[in-house]
Structure 1
Amino acid sequence: MDVVLTERRAGVLVITLNRPEVRNAIDRRLATALDDAVTTLETDPALQVGVLTGAGTHFCSGMDLKAFPTEGVPVVGDRGLAGLARARLTKPVIAAVEGAAVAGGFELVLACDLVVAADTAFFGLPEVARGLVASQGGAIRLPARLPYHLAMEMLLTADPMPAAEAARHGLVNQLTAPGKAMAGALDLADRVRAHSPLAVQATKRIVQATRGLDDTTAFTVQDPLSDPVFTTTSATEGTRAFCEKRPAVWTG
């Protein structure tokens, strides 16, 4: 059985973690397969957006603790956990979350750019309860996404947070009914895909490269990334389409 499934949908690559019998826990085999899928998304020019989800009723329960004694943390090169947690991707990835997204599973969600979750889903970082540390982005990213004290409560108590509460604090873009997270994520992917791929990717690179910098430094980093976009055929087409009151036709 393939432990990661991929499906192409008009410029969108749907990536499904496929070990539902263990809540899609990440072992070495799944990590390698997810890394392959992420590489496909990043290198195929026909693909513009990725959607990451889990098979069955849960997103991902994190690292497979039964495999840990023999396999260690299932990182892939410098991309970190499952080839995604520390990856520097240029294309946006949307998490479609049903059920549990905990431990490394939540860290994969935090590595995504947008999050759609069923209102019955929940998030958690229980590493301290296992004698571990949320070292694949959890301890770094969560305090930047939630108010500091709430993030510290999750990190230090191992208590989970319901998706509805996460949405109230801006951690989730869209809440859906149970079973509808994928539909919501695909709709969001289409909204992103409607725009210039070059502009979308440049915008994501700017956000990644300037996070945490002061304004003066940030503009210095941003300009070499943004200036070339203004001279592309996409910029010409986008502005012309606006003036002509028609949909833009993106060629790159």
Structure 2
Amino acid sequence: MALACDLVYAADDAKLLAPFTSLGLHPGMAATYLLPSRGGINLARELLLTGRTIRGEEAAREGLINRSYAREELLEKTLEIAGSVAANAPIATRLTKIALKSAHNDLEEALKWESLAQPVTMTSKDMLEGLTAHRERRVPKFTGS
């Protein structure tokens, strides 16, 4: 399930595994799609074909997760990151999530999407608030409009 999330964090000593084949099962839950897209085909092959367990530190190093933290810091750090994301302009964040999920096939496709999405944010009250707050050196108060 974590593979389907936008951001993934784990404790340094967390155990991550996809033991399907070692249990006699074909991978499920879109693991054959999500694991290669997140951690690369080589890591996906190794984890899916062997059922090997990796720790959070290695998962972060391999790009399978965003970062790992000491277990006692994990909740605080992830709540801080979640707060940072939640504090951003909702419309811009939503459109950025769509763009990242779209996995554009080439530069031209990405530029086309951006040429459609950016004007939406440029006409928002949130953009004006963001620019004003930046100029006034204060935290913006976004409303999603």
Q: TM-score, normalised by structure 2?
A: 0.88
Alpha-carbon spacing, 1:212–1:233, altered in 2? closer, same or farther (3 Å)? closer
SS in 2 for 1:220: helix
Does the aligned pair in 2 maintain the 1:116–1:175 contact within 8 Å?
yes
1:234, 1:133 → 2: CA distance?
Answer: 47
Please state if 1:153 is matched with 2:36: no
Relative to total residues, which structure has the larger helix share, 1 or 2? 2
Alignment of 1:134-213 (within 5 A): 134-209=27-102, 211-213=103-105
Report the CA distance between 1:138 and its aligned residue: 1.3
Q: Note the 1:1-252 alignment, pairs <5 A.
A: 108-209=1-102, 211-252=103-144
| Larger relative contact order (CA 8 Å, sep ≥ 6) | 2
Runs of 4 or more above 4 Å deviation: none
Cα displacement string for residues 216-245 of structure 1 (whole angstroms, at most 9, x for unaligned residues): 123223433332111100011111111222
Query: Structure 1 stretch 219-228 or stretch 114-123: which is displaced more?
Result: 219-228
Q: TM-score, normalising length from structure 1?
A: 0.53
Match of 1:20 in 2: none
Identity of aligned residues (%): 33
Greater fraction of residues in strand: 1
- Offset of 1:212 from its aligned partner? 4.6
Cα RMSD for the two superposed structures: 1.8
Asked whether the 8 Å contact 1:116–1:184 carries over to 2, the reply is no
Work out whether residues 167 and 174 of structure 1, in 8 Å CA contact, stay in contact via their aligned partners in 2.
Answer: yes
Q: Structure 1: give runs of 5+ residues left out of the alignment.
A: 1-107
Letter of the 1:214 counterpart: D
Q: Distance in 1 between matches of 2:41 and 2:123?
A: 41
